[in-house]
Amino acid sequence: MKQSGKLTLANGTTFTGSWQGTVPVKGEVVFFTGMTGYQEVLTDPSYQGQILVFTYPLIGQYGIQAEASESNQIQVAGVIVQTLAEDGQGTSLASWLGEANVPVLSGVDTRSLVHLLRTEGDQFGDMMQENMTVPESVDAAYIASVSTTSNVEYVPEVEDGHVVCIDYGVKQSMIDALIERHMRVTVVPYDTTPERIQALAPDGLLFSNGPGDPTQLDPFLSGIRELATSYPTLGICMGHQVLAHAFGCTLLKQHHGHRGANHPVRHLASGQVFMTSQNHGYAVDVKSIEASEMELAYEHINDGSVEGLIHPALPIMTVQFHPEASPGPTEAMVVFDQFVNTVLHQEVAYVG
């Protein structure tokens, strides 16, 4: 017999469904619009601590594959679906979540829930059974919890250069994209000093994606700026935001974030449009760019939000979207090509 559970949002609205799990959770409730890629999403460190609602009505239909994970664990606090499939090759999604003690609420009217979040905005919620007590607060120091605690090196068969990745919660597919382009990658903790990074003798720097509020990294902005002005630099998602902030842009919390695999982005210089994978709840304030040291490079076609920046004189480029996809379209992989070209030639080489 299935047990019942509920999600109670900060505004007091409650959604009920069938419960699987042993612990209650509190977290920001957000939604993902992609039709596939649930394993990659659930293991993406950028989702650390969030309660994730899938808009596609059937989730879990092709099971779990060991090679598809973006990190070594499930990162979300809880999962909400309309229908949870129990089939699929290999391990089922339901059993995989159960083994990790990640609660699931299924049979939920996700259409109504997502409509509410789009109307009223992303907000915190409590996911539980009737007799459970939810924690009063959550630890928001997400980056410290997902970043590596020691240097990790990835060596390609053929090495053309060395990229140091400042790890705010890097996805494995980002590392793979650089290895495929013959880059040795050294992943370092988020709080590594510029002196220690310089001692690694990088040819370029990747500031990675990561979870939560980018102001977590405000104490490190001067070091981030020092590093970015010294090496060819690429910032992705959280990395984009902190680099923008370090060079004078202001950041804002979005009403409801971009989380999906079908977001259209325009490259301003060429007019080229990419369909992109995205996962973020914060953005660069477009009005702040003019007074900063950066220039707008990409914009979101649907809402005009900032999707990428360039420095006019230094080899620094940033993107809010995820060029590595996983899940999603891979046409924006050209960003990695351009970054590696910049690393190899130690000069500005932008997309377009």
Mean pLDDT across 25-49:
96
Q: Is position 137 within any domain?
A: no
- Both 18 and 112 in a single domain? yes
Q: Which helix (H) or strand (E) holds 342?
A: helix 334-345
- Both 297 and 229 in a single domain? yes
**pLDDT in the model for residue 166:** 98
- Both 194 and 328 in a single domain? yes
**pLDDT in the model for residue 351:** 47
| Cis peptide bond prior to 327, omega within 30° of 0 | yes
The domain of 20 spans 3-129
The position carrying tokens 């003019």 is: 290
3-state SS, 90-147, equals EECHHHHHHHCCCCEEECCCHHHHHHHHHHHCCEEEEEECCCCCCCCCCCCCHHHHHC
Cβ atoms within 10 A of the Cβ of 21, count?
Answer: 21
For residue 325, give both structure tokens: 């996809």
- Both 261 and 205 in a single domain? yes
- Both 97 and 207 in a single domain? no
The percent of residues in the chain predicted with pLDDT above 90, rounded, is: 90
What's CA 337's distance to the chain center, in Å? 20
> Contact 244/294 with Cβ under 8 angstroms?
yes
Active-site pick, 293, 299, 307, 324: 324
**In Å, how far are 131, 312, 342, 351 from 348, measured between CA atoms?**
59, 9, 6, 10
Q: Name beta bridge partners: 319.
A: 236, 308
Number of C-alpha atoms within 13 angstroms, CB side, residue 335?
Answer: 33
pLDDT tens for each residue of 146-172: 999 999 999 999 999 999 999 999 999
pLDDT tens for each residue of 297-350: 999 999 999 999 999 999 999 999 999 999 989 999 999 999 999 999 877 655
- Both 94 and 166 in a single domain? no
pLDDT tens for each residue of 174-226: 999 999 999 999 999 999 999 999 999 999 999 999 999 999 999 999 999 99
**Helix, strand, coil percentages for the chain (3-state, nearest 5):** 25, 35, 40
Number of C-alpha atoms within 13 angstroms, CB side, residue 125?
Answer: 30
**pLDDT in the model for residue 350:** 53
Q: Which helix (H) or strand (E) holds 309?
A: strand 306-310
- Both 125 and 171 in a single domain? no
- Both 149 and 114 in a single domain? no
For residue 186, give both structure tokens: 């050294």
Q: Which residues contact 153 (CB under 8 A, 6 or more apart)?
A: 184, 185, 186, 187
**pLDDT in the model for residue 88:** 63
Q: Where are the alpha helices (DSSP H) in 103-261?
A: 110-120, 142-146, 172-180, 194-199, 221-228, 238-246
- This prediction's pTM: 0.95
- Both 191 and 327 in a single domain? yes
Active-site pick, 237, 240, 249, 280: 237
Helix axes of 221-228 and 238-246: crossing angle, nearest 10 degrees: 90
Could you tell me the CATH number of the domain that includes residue 301?
3.40.50.880
Q: Which residues contact 333 (CB under 8 A, 6 or more apart)?
A: 177, 323, 324, 325
Q: What is the largest CA-CA distance in the chain?
A: 64
For residue 259, give both structure tokens: 């989380």
Mean pLDDT across 48-64:
95
Active-site pick, 267, 280, 300, 322: 322
Look at residues 64, 99, 129 and tell me which one is the last residue of a structural domain.
129
Q: Is position 160 within any domain?
A: yes
Mean pLDDT across 265-286:
96
pLDDT tens for each residue of 91-147: 899 999 999 999 999 999 999 999 999 999 999 999 999 889 888 878 778 999 999
Residue 324 appears among annotated catalytic residues: yes
Rounded to 5 degrees, φ, ψ at 185 are: -120, 125
The position carrying tokens 């040795």 is: 184
- Both 336 and 296 in a single domain? yes
Rounded to whole angstroms, the Cα distance separating 44 from 28 reads: 15
Rounded to whole angstroms, the Cα distance separating 89 from 347 reads: 47
**pLDDT in the model for residue 91:** 84
- Both 292 and 244 in a single domain? yes
Looking at the predicted structure, is the pLDDT value of residue 352 above 60?
Answer: no
Look at residues 129, 159, 182 and tell me which one is the last residue of a structural domain.
129
